[in-house]
Amino acid sequence: MQERLQQLQAEALHKVDNASGLKELNDIRAAYLGKKGPITEVLKGMGKLSAEERPKMGALANEVRDAITAAIESKQQLLEEAAVVEQLASETIDVTLPGRPVKVGNHHPLTRIIEEIEDLFMGMGYAVAEGPEVEQDYYNFEALNFPKGHPARDMQDSYYISDDILLRTHTSGVQARTMEKNHGKGPVKIICPGKVYRRDNDDATHSHQFMQIEGLVVDENIRLSDLKGTLDLFAKKMFGEDREIRLRPSFFPFTEPSVEMDISCKFCGGTGCGVCKDTGWIEILGAGMVHPNVLEMAGYDSKKYTGFAFGLGIERIAMLKYGVDDIRHFYTNDNRFLKQFSVHE
């Protein structure tokens, strides 16, 4: 019996030594130390031993079990440590590798122009106002001195939703809304950026949907020279001192007198090209002194108050400032175009 136990110990220790994985080690444990294992089997023969030998064999069997258990435990520790080392090696991150570049977006060129113009006018004490894009005929036309059937309505071919509701053709409706809210009292000094819609044919300088910024100043003693000075300052800040500007007499039912402002064409230097339709000039805004009828309709005493207003096309300004030769580039969202305006590259 003693020999058999020693043989089992040597056999088990050899297998433990050669075990290459935790599963194999568990199988050895079950095979040698389990209830149906060979050691238990050997011990069943204890009854045949003398009373003297029995405790010796019992003690030897315990020693054999303890030796196999200790060998399994230390091997288990070795295998677990090896597994951790292997896992760490396979998950190693090389922190010295350069990172992948993160693409950073940028503001749309039209947003940049709006923000620049807002900053400029806010610096002169203007507040920023808003108005609805789906507008009542009253604010888009009637309150601006365009009665129903007035031929000047044809200047702005409109998208009507019902007889009285349309997509606003200009931001000038905000003039009427703002003055009405003030109940004919006190000064008004606002700009209003926003989208407008017209049934214009799309070409290099026209779009059926575009953006405008409206400006309105109403107070006592506001004169045409105030308008001229404001537009002059605006043009110089936006385009630089060297660009030529001209004011032409024009007509809008809601201003009297009315003017339009042109800037010399950046693409041909004023000699004439496809973009400026061979005129050498590009129109960027309409303006004028607020018509007394418009002041009165909004509740202002036109003998006491006067005002000026202007409405500029944001795309046209962006075209001139950035040298974009076709308005449609602003709407196609072509990344090759947009990323030229990135401040990050």
The binding site for Mg(2+) consists of 256
Among 53, 118, 200, 296, binds ligand FA5 (CB under 6 A): 200
Closest distance of CB 214 from ligand FA5, Å: 6
Q: Give the largest Cα separation in the chain, rounded.
A: 136
Closest distance of CB 97 from ligand FA5, Å: 49
Neighbours of 64 (CB within 10 A): 24
Give the binding range for ligand FA5 (CB under 6 A) out of 65-73, 160-168, 306-314, 330-338.
Answer: 306-314
How far apart, in Å, are the Cα atoms of 211 and each of 101, 200, 207, 297?
34, 14, 10, 26
Closest distance of CB 163 from ligand FA5, Å: 22
Angstrom distance (rounded) from CA 279 to CA 149 = 32
Give the binding range for ligand FA5 (CB under 6 A) out of 9-17, 99-107, 117-125, 252-260.
Answer: 252-260
Q: Where are the alpha helices (DSSP H) in the chain?
A: 2-18, 22-33, 38-43, 53-90, 109-122, 137-140, 173-181, 224-239, 292-297, 314-322, 335-338
Neighbours of 152 (CB within 10 A): 15
Among 145, 172, 178, 264, binds ligand FA5 (CB under 6 A): 172
Q: Is 194 in the site for ligand FA5 (CB under 6 A)?
A: no
Residue nearest ligand FA5 (C-beta atom)? 313
Q: Is 207 in the site for ligand FA5 (CB under 6 A)?
A: yes
Residue 250 bridge partners (DSSP): 258
Residue 218 bridge partners (DSSP): 188, 307
Angstrom distance (rounded) from CA 283 to CA 3 = 112
Region 129-158 residues binding ligand FA5, contact defined as CB under 6 A: 156
Give the binding range for ligand FA5 (CB under 6 A) out of 10-18, 116-124, 272-280, 313-321.
Answer: 313-321
Q: Is 313 in the site for ligand FA5 (CB under 6 A)?
A: yes
Q: Is 287 in the site for ligand FA5 (CB under 6 A)?
A: yes
Among 193, 194, 253, 286, binds ligand FA5 (CB under 6 A): 286
Region 208-247 residues binding ligand FA5, contact defined as CB under 6 A: 210, 212, 214
Count of residues interacting with ligand FA5 (CB under 6 A): 26
Angstrom distance (rounded) from CA 130 to CA 117 = 15
- CA R_g for the chain: 44
Per DSSP, 65 falls in state: H
Could you list the residues that contact ligand FA5 (CB under 6 A)? 156, 170, 172, 198, 200, 206-207, 210, 212, 214, 252, 255, 258, 283-288, 309-313, 315-316
